[in-house]
Amino acid sequence: MFDSVNRRNVLMSAGTAGVLSTLPSPALAGAPGIAAETAPAGFDPAPFAKQAVKFAVIGLDHYHIMGMTAAVQRGGGKLVKFYTTDPKQIADFRAKFGDIPLAKSEAEILGDKSIKLVCGAPIPDQRAPLGIRVMKAGKDYLSDKPAITTLEQLAEVRKTVAETKKKFAIMYSERLEVKAAIHAGYLIDQGAIGKVIQTVNLAPHRIGNVDAGGRPEWFWHKNRYGGILTDIGSHQIEQFLYYTKSTSAHVVASQAGNVAHPQYPEFEDFGDMVAVGNGGTGYIRVDWFTPDGLPTWGDGRLFVLGTEGYIELRKYYDVSGRAGGNHLFIADKKGVRYIDCNNVLLPFGPLFVRDILDRTEKAQDQAEALLTAELVLTAEKNATKPVIA
Amino acid sequence: MFDSVNRRNVLMSAGTAGVLSTLPSPALAGAPGIAAETAPAGFDPAPFAKQAVKFAVIGLDHYHIMGMTAAVQRGGGKLVKFYTTDPKQIADFRAKFGDIPLAKSEAEILGDKSIKLVCGAPIPDQRAPLGIRVMKAGKDYLSDKPAITTLEQLAEVRKTVAETKKKFAIMYSERLEVKAAIHAGYLIDQGAIGKVIQTVNLAPHRIGNVDAGGRPEWFWHKNRYGGILTDIGSHQIEQFLYYTKSTSAHVVASQAGNVAHPQYPEFEDFGDMVAVGNGGTGYIRVDWFTPDGLPTWGDGRLFVLGTEGYIELRKYYDVSGRAGGNHLFIADKKGVRYIDCNNVLLPFGPLFVRDILDRTEKAQDQAEALLTAELVLTAEKNATKPVIA
């Protein structure tokens, strides 16, 4: 619960400008006039404590691989090998995960029968081909998103999943690895806001100091990253499907374009889409316009509208001034309250390793993961260009 | 500025649930970790102090007429007559505006050459025909929104405006009469967030206790209220046009339907639309799903995304816990700050009366007001129905 004395001290020393970066780190749970509570863990890791599978990593072009590796380890994954040729990636990976053996080739990992899972984050257009090779080698695969950059790749992935009975999992981390998003799922499943009608995601991202070389060359080429709807938007379409419990859906309208980065003509800096499913509808905006003054990479929001209430997530930041992330606000029949979700335990890793052992789909539904890809690829293909004067 | 002692007292007596309605009314400007400031008035009423025009009111079916009347009075409007046949409307209007003479007929007002302006809020489908009669009688007209419920009405309005040179103004109160929305316009004009790329409006409304007769019969019939995009959505399309400075635009996609009120089959309780203009793009969601526990009629939000920052408005409520409305948050190149806009002065009334005297369009651009109607009517006509399982 809220500590009013500590908060008052913060306030009295805060001054009037530019204070965010100097705040103490404990989340300031409450705010004037709103009831506050703390979400429980929501997940019991005990039944998963003794499970183990050996896994390897191939492709570290996006450092999302660090979070993916850590998630699998939390579920009992034993990291036995990794493969990349980039010296900096090798050093950074070992700095985080210890002196893991470096394979001499991808083939060395694919040929190792003790390895049951490969996690991959190569350049986006290489992710699906890698996954297909992994599945054909008799292993499950967990890809960074976007895992699939063309509809042709998608068809080949679906064919290989059907033939090999292996998993092509996709780490949609903006739900699976965000505590507030996990807790929102629990609340919705409990009927806290009635029947879900719609989701709205606003998903700004920081492009960083591009003139200083902050992004690799492939970041600017659409045939490599797949376009903004395919890349960032896959996170949000997955949330739309998940929270509306839609098992079929289509994209009603989509836009994608470059409104303010003429020096990178293939780069898409803004996009949006409206999707409709058999469980609800969704709107998604994605962009690369996080302002320089925002103290985190993006003010990601999710609004879930239900027949009896709504939920708002401020996943990574609260523009109202609460420290940290994982902020959930709910308005329902009885009132309005704030829920600090930082104590929630992330279930993906434990459930995913269990799925590998049991051939179940509790961590991620295979059909949903690939429907997400289908929707964003179709949205990207049909997108109109917003022309900003 | 923020009063930490008072706020602490509030917090310590607040408990954990249902506290919002018992808060003291002064807005609690700050919050942990965010810089706070108060917006200035932004408008000098002095040059308008001596202006005067005589005006009348016809049609009180929506009590928006109360705010419209007050706005014109703030600009020097002298209310000389009103006309309705409903005894409750007559009593309520006089309770607010004094013992104003009741006309015996609409014709009495239209025939009074001293009256230069008629404000009207009859049932929506009657607003444009009334306005056409008013303009043909040589007077300007200010309508409640939606002012126009069919494309045929729109064509007739445009024709009559061109022929009579009179004004067909529409009170889009969710911008024109909201202090935070006015201040957002000033900030954008000053370049505070760079070039505007997109607006997002979330516009929930409370339907009220319908079983207790809280809404008149016309509220449920689409041919009378025009549909949810036409009715509520006109406010938001106007904001999209205004903040993106678009002078031409079209609706890319729209949805409208009845997802949770089967007892009123013609009622639309949910809608959304994506619009693109020559100055930017916009997304709008409108709905009648304000939760019972929310202490105000709707948590109306506006997000304006610019190339160098963004603005969020919480117009009528702050789910984070600040009291009152008119909350503005801005993230820009330098940081994030909260702006309390309650001291802003609303310019519409004074400017509109000046426009009547000078034949200018400073309070409202005639073309923009009617383009708004065209966009929502077209969106409504082409809307697909979201089917919620």
Judged against a pLDDT cut of 80, whether residue B182 lies above it is answered with yes
In a domain, B353, yes or no: no
pLDDT digits (tens, 9 = 90+) for B119-160: 999 999 999 999 999 999 999 999 999 999 999 999 999 999
Which residue among A17, A36, A384 places its CB closest to the CB of B252?
Answer: A384
The DSSP call for residue A345 is P
| Interchain proximity B204–A305, CB inside 8 Å | yes
Residue B129: which CATH number? Answer: 3.40.50.720
Q: Please tell me the least confidently modeled range out of A149-153, B22-26, B45-49, B64-68.
A: B22-26
Judged against a pLDDT cut of 70, whether residue A270 lies above it is answered with yes
pLDDT tier for residue A20 given thresholds of 50, 70 and 90: very low
**Of A123, A156, A171, which residue constitutes the final position of a domain?**
A171
Percentage of chain B modeled with pLDDT above 90 = 87
pLDDT tier for residue B386 given thresholds of 50, 70 and 90: confident
The whole domain housing A291 covers: 7-41+175-348+376-382
B52 and B201, same domain (yes or no):
no
In a domain, B362, yes or no: no
Average pLDDT over residues A330-353: 97
Chain A nearest-CA residue for B269: A307
Average pLDDT over residues A87-108: 98
In a domain, A318, yes or no: yes
Average pLDDT over residues A47-74: 97
A128 and A162, same domain (yes or no):
yes
| Interchain proximity A336–B31, CB inside 8 Å | no
Judged against a pLDDT cut of 60, whether residue A214 lies above it is answered with yes
Residues 89-108 of chain B with CB under 8 A from chain A are none
Q: Is A265 or A18 the better-scoring residue by pLDDT?
A: A265
Q: How many interchain CB pairs under 8 A, A with B? A: 272
Judged against a pLDDT cut of 50, whether residue A13 lies above it is answered with no
Cβ–Cβ contact B80 with A under 8 A: no
pLDDT at B387: 67
Judged against a pLDDT cut of 70, whether residue B19 lies above it is answered with no
The DSSP call for residue A80 is E
Percentage of chain B modeled with pLDDT above 70 = 90
CA atoms within 13 A on the CB side of A258: 12
Residues 245-284 of chain A with CB under 8 A from chain B are 252-253, 255, 259-260, 270, 272, 274, 276, 278-281, 283
Average pLDDT over residues A258-287: 96
Judged against a pLDDT cut of 70, whether residue A19 lies above it is answered with no
Dihedral sign from CA coordinates of A6, A8, A14, A18: positive
Which of B288, B320, B382 should we substitute to test contact with A (largest number of A Cβ atoms within 10 Å)? B320
Which residue among A253, A281, A333 places its CB closest to the CB of B252?
Answer: A253
Residue B299: which CATH number? Answer: 3.30.360.10
Helix, strand or coil, per DSSP, at residue B91: helix
């009347």: which residue's tokens? B69
A60 and A95, same domain (yes or no):
yes
B82 and B17, same domain (yes or no):
no
Helices (H), chain B: 4-12, 64-74, 87-97, 106-110, 127-136, 151-164, 173-176, 179-189, 222-225, 228-244, 348-358, 366-382
Distances (CA, A) of A11 to A36, A92, A145, B31, B33: 18, 39, 40, 8, 7
E strand or H helix at B168, and its extent? strand B168-171
Which residue among B32, B259, B293 places its CB closest to the CB of A28?
Answer: B32
Residues 344-383 of chain A with CB under 8 A from chain B are none
pLDDT at B25: 27
Judged against a pLDDT cut of 50, whether residue A3 lies above it is answered with no
Cβ–Cβ contact A34 with B under 8 A: yes
Chain B nearest-CA residue for A17: B35
| Interchain proximity B332–A291, CB inside 8 Å | yes
A83 and A220, same domain (yes or no):
no
Which residue among B11, B19, B319 places its CB closest to the CB of A331?
Answer: B319
Q: With contacts defined as CB-CB under 8 Å, which chain A residues touch B333?
A: 291-293
Q: Is A321 or B112 the better-scoring residue by pLDDT?
A: B112
Name the domain count of chain B: 2
Which residue among B255, B280, B333 places its CB closest to the CB of A291?
Answer: B333
pLDDT tier for residue A302 given thresholds of 50, 70 and 90: very high
Instruction: Detail the DSSP E strand segments found in chain A.
Output: 35-38, 53-60, 77-83, 117-121, 140-144, 168-171, 196-204, 249-257, 270-277, 280-287, 301-306, 309-314, 327-331, 336-340
pLDDT digits (tens, 9 = 90+) for A361-380: 999 999 999 999 999 999 99
In a domain, B260, yes or no: yes
Judged against a pLDDT cut of 90, whether residue A309 lies above it is answered with yes
A141 and A68, same domain (yes or no):
yes
Cβ–Cβ contact A312 with B under 8 A: yes
Residues 158-197 of chain A with CB under 8 A from chain B are 193, 195, 197
Cβ–Cβ contact A332 with B under 8 A: yes
Long-range CB contacts (within 8 A, 24+) of A149-154: A149/A124, A149/A125, A149/A223, A149/A224, A149/A225, A149/A226, A149/A230, A149/A377, A150/A125, A150/A226, A150/A377, A151/A374, A151/A377, A151/A378, A151/A381, A153/A128, A153/A129, A154/A128, A154/A370, A154/A373, A154/A374, A154/A377
| Interchain proximity B312–A321, CB inside 8 Å | no
Q: With contacts defined as CB-CB under 8 Å, which chain B residues touch A4?
A: 8, 11-12
Average pLDDT over residues B339-349: 98
Judged against a pLDDT cut of 90, whether residue A8 lies above it is answered with no
pLDDT digits (tens, 9 = 90+) for B239-263: 999 999 999 999 999 999 999 999 9
| Interchain proximity A8–B8, CB inside 8 Å | yes
CA distance to partner chain A, nearest, from residue B47 (Å): 34
pLDDT at B52: 97
What is the pLDDT of chain A when averaged over all its residues? Answer: 91
ipTM for this prediction: 0.91
Q: With contacts defined as CB-CB under 8 Å, which chain B residues touch A281?
A: 255, 272, 386, 388
In a domain, A242, yes or no: yes
In SS3 terms, A187-243 reads as HHHCCCCCCEEEEEEEEECCCCCHHHCCCCHHHHCHHHHCCHHHHHHHHHHHHHHHH
Which residue among A17, A308, A319 places its CB closest to the CB of B291?
Answer: A308
B313 and B290, same domain (yes or no):
yes
| Interchain proximity A202–B303, CB inside 8 Å | yes
Judged against a pLDDT cut of 90, whether residue B272 lies above it is answered with yes
| Interchain proximity A31–B36, CB inside 8 Å | no
Q: With contacts defined as CB-CB under 8 Å, which chain B residues touch A19?
A: 33-35
**Of A119, A153, A171, which residue constitutes the final position of a domain?**
A171
Amino acid at A190: Q
pLDDT digits (tens, 9 = 90+) for B190-223: 999 999 999 999 999 999 876 666 789 999 999 9
Amino acid at A374: E
B31 and B62, same domain (yes or no):
no
In a domain, B286, yes or no: yes
CA distance A40 to A343: 6
Which residue among A19, A32, A36 places its CB closest to the CB of B322?
Answer: A32
Which residue among A17, A33, A289 places its CB closest to the CB of B335?
Answer: A17
Q: With contacts defined as CB-CB under 8 Å, which chain B residues touch A11?
A: 2, 4, 7, 30, 32
**Of A171, A205, A220, which residue constitutes the final position of a domain?**
A171
Q: With contacts defined as CB-CB under 8 Å, which chain A residues touch B289?
A: 197, 305-307, 310
pLDDT tier for residue A212 given thresholds of 50, 70 and 90: low
Q: What is the pTM of this model?
A: 0.91
pLDDT at A263: 92
A15 and A96, same domain (yes or no):
no
B119 and B203, same domain (yes or no):
no
pLDDT at A83: 98
pLDDT at A389: 53
CA distance to partner chain A, nearest, from residue B361 (Å): 24
What is the pLDDT of chain B when averaged over all its residues? Answer: 91
In a domain, A252, yes or no: yes
A329 and A198, same domain (yes or no):
yes
pLDDT tier for residue A14 given thresholds of 50, 70 and 90: very low
In a domain, A185, yes or no: yes
Judged against a pLDDT cut of 50, whether residue B104 lies above it is answered with yes
pLDDT at A32: 55
Judged against a pLDDT cut of 70, whether residue B118 lies above it is answered with yes
A114 and A189, same domain (yes or no):
no
pLDDT at B388: 62
Average pLDDT over residues B81-108: 98
pLDDT at B17: 29
pLDDT at A369: 98
pLDDT at A153: 98
pLDDT at A6: 33
User: Which of A269, A69, A22 is CA-nearest to residue B34?
Assistant: A22
Which residue among A285, A289, A321 places its CB closest to the CB of B34?
Answer: A321
Q: Please tell me the least confidently modeled range out of A277-286, B7-16, B209-218.
A: B7-16
